[in-house]
Structure 1
Amino acid sequence: MSRDRLGAIASHIAFGAGLAGVAIGALAGDLGRLADIGAGLAIGATPFVILARVRRSTRITEADKEALRREGYRLALDHAARGLLKPPPLHGGREGVPAASGATVHRLRLVDREESQRRA
């Protein structure tokens, strides 16, 4: 179990215990001190509960990461095939030849459909 998960569990338990203290103190009538302590505990645990919920909602799984990577690669290939990508800027002395320190251009070779289906 990770440290984040343990922190989330502890903050939720502290918040629940604080609310229980408030409820018991309010219902019993003569346990005002317990209600005060419970309120303080619940209020103190609230930021940690919120933090745990935000972290949980923004967590991304490995499968999601892989799906996003594949979609980005597919979009890049689609843009390259449609000619939407600009060539790297020219910094060299000659026209039409990028400088060695400029952007790296990876050459893509064409693959026929049968070979691409065998690879997939």
Structure 2
Amino acid sequence: MITREQLAVVASTAVFLAGLALVAVGAVTGEHPRVADIGVGVTLGCLPFVILARVRRQHHITRETAESIRREGYRLGLEHASRGLLTPPPVTDDGEGAPTAHVATVHHLYAVPRRSAAAQMERKQQAR
């Protein structure tokens, strides 16, 4: 079955080669310099599409490749589990005020910096 990506590669490459052929014909014969100019325009106009189609084709993953990647990931997961690498880290007491291992540290980002509670109290007292 022909895919859309394969069709794009073939079409863009065919137009690109046709443009190069026009350049060669115009340059060799010398009788029709306008043909070479048209070929250069077609070639340069088609070049981004050729590059895009080739890059997309290079990044295409087949079903067999995807299945082998999935199997390798599963195998590595089993290997890590058998070696004991998937066990949670030991719980340690780092003292009062230290974050626990079960709570994620969330850093809030504000557009305007927030003032500390002491600075807010001082502003309120100055306003009186």
* TM-score (ref. length: structure 1): 0.68
1:51 paired residue number: 52
| Structure label with greater radius of gyration | 2
* Residue identity matched to 2:15: A
Map 1:30-49 onto structure 2 (within 5 A): 30-49=31-50
Report 1 or 2 for greater relative contact order, CA contacts < 8 Å, sequence distance ≥ 6: 2
1:13 Cα deviation after fit: 1.0
1:86 Cα deviation after fit: 4.0
1:10 paired residue number: 11
1:19 paired residue number: 20
Structure 1 runs not aligned, ≥5 long:
91-97, 99-120
RMSD of aligned Cα (Å) = 2.0
Q: Distance in 2 between matches of 1:37 and 1:85?
A: 63
Map 1:25-104 onto structure 2 (within 5 A): 25-87=26-88
Q: Distance in 1 between matches of 2:48 and 2:59?
A: 17
Secondary structure of the residue aligned to 1:6 is helix
Secondary structure of the residue aligned to 2:85 is coil
Structure 2 runs not aligned, ≥5 long:
92-101, 103-128
Does the CA contact (< 8 Å) of 2:6 and 2:57 recur in 1?
no
Q: Distance in 1 between matches of 2:45 and 2:79?
A: 51
Percent of aligned pairs with the same amino acid: 56
* Residue identity matched to 1:29: G
* TM-score (ref. length: structure 2): 0.64
